[in-house]
Amino acid sequence: MPPELDQPVAAIAPEAAISALLCLFHHYAVHEPAGQSCQRLSQRIFLHLEELARREDMPELLRRTCDELSEAWLLVVDRQQSDRWPSQRQAGRP
């Protein structure tokens, strides 16, 4: 796993950020079929995509793609949070 995964996305080169994101996708894909989806991993994927979408040093096509994917991953994170705390949601608690 690249050491860039432990650094803020804004602090590393675009290629390194994309490389780190691909590693996160891989780890998510490996764990998801086994029913081990990790909310922390989903959140990191979302945050990486969100940050890459904002970077001015990224090509426009990649920024737009990351922006669209970040919206999709936000839904994954929201779903995982609601699955984790269903009794609180049903009782009307945030």
Strand, coil or helix: what is 81? helix
Residues 31-43, mean pLDDT to the nearest whole number: 77
Please name the residue that has the structure tokens 């979408």: 53
Mean per-residue pLDDT of the chain: 81
The model carries a pTM of 0.73
The predicted model gives 11-35 an average pLDDT of: 81
- What pLDDT, on the 0 to 100 scale, is given for residue 72? 92
Q: Which residues 6+ apart lie within 8 Å of 37 measured at CB?
A: 28, 31, 80
Task: Tell me the C-alpha distance between 42 and 28, whole Å.
Answer: 7
Longest dimension (CA), the chain: 46
Domain definitions of the chain by residue range: 3-90
State the Cα angle at 14 between 31 and 27, rounded to 5°. Answer: 5
Q: How confident is the model at residue 19 (pLDDT cuts 50, 70, 90)?
A: confident
